[in-house]
């Protein structure tokens, strides 16, 4: 099983409380290996008030949080029964497990927040094999040569027509092989 991103429905306005409770429950029940990141999708907006610019955090999806987890019965139970959680998006109910978000959807949401679904250093290291999932090199495999932390770009060596070629890609264009 692999970790994937799921959308969890919460009471509107309680997203941060649910995030805290879910993280605490995962730690206290020893599920850190199944529930990884809990994110309240927010973006910063600049607001003019009385001639003064103010930055304000605004929730992108009020009433929803993102959870990166491995969907086991125990992890699913813990998330569903966290106070403030009303359910998962993508589940038909009746005990059916939900469908995860696609990598493209996760990249789009986390990209607007300046984050990535892949963690450089934890999940991606120089020399790791990756699969290109977007662009002209889609479905090709290569190895990571360099990583630019600030820009989120990688140099990957690909085998093009029997010759090793270096291409620059963004994190959203690859997945771990």
- pLDDT tens, 112-143? 777 766 665 556 778 888 888 878 888 888 88
Instruction: Walk across the sheet containing 4-10 and list its strands.
Output: 35-39, 64-69, 4-10, 85-88
- Which residue has 């290996």 as its token pair? 33
CA distance 20 to 31: 15
Q: Exposure pattern of 2-36 as b/e (b: 16+ CB <10 Å)?
A: ebbbbbbbbeeebbeebbebbbebbeeeebeebbb
pLDDT at 122: 58
Residues 68/79, Cβ–Cβ less than 8 Å: no
Residues 42/57, Cβ–Cβ less than 8 Å: yes
- In the chain, which stretches have pLDDT less than 70? 116-123, 149-150
DSSP-derived letter for residue 84 is T
* 29 φ, ψ (degrees, to nearest 5): -100, 5
pLDDT at 130: 86
pLDDT at 159: 87
């Amino acid at each position: 099983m692999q970790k994937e991103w799921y959308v969890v429905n919460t009471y509107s306005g309680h997203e941060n409380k649910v995030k805290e409770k879910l993280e605490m429950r995962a730690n206290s029940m020893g599920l850190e290996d199944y529930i990884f990141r809990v994110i309240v999708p927010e973006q910063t907006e600049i607001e003019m008030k009385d001639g003064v610019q103010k930055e304000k955090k605004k929730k992108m999806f009020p009433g929803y949080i993102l959870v990166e987890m491995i969907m086991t019965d125990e992890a699913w139970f813990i998330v569903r029964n966290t106070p403030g959680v009303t359910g998962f998006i993508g589940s038909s109910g009746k005990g059916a497990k939900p469908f995860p978000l696609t990598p493209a959807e996760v990249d789009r949401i986390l990209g607007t927040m300046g984050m990535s679904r892949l963690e450089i250093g934890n999940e991606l290291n120089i020399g790791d094999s990756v699969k290109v999932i977007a662009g002209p090199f889609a479905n090709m495999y290569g190895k990571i040569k360099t990583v630019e932390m600030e820009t989120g770009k990688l140099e990957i060596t690909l085998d093009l027509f029997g010759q090793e070629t270096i291409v620059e890609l963004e994190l959203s264009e690859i997945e771990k092989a």
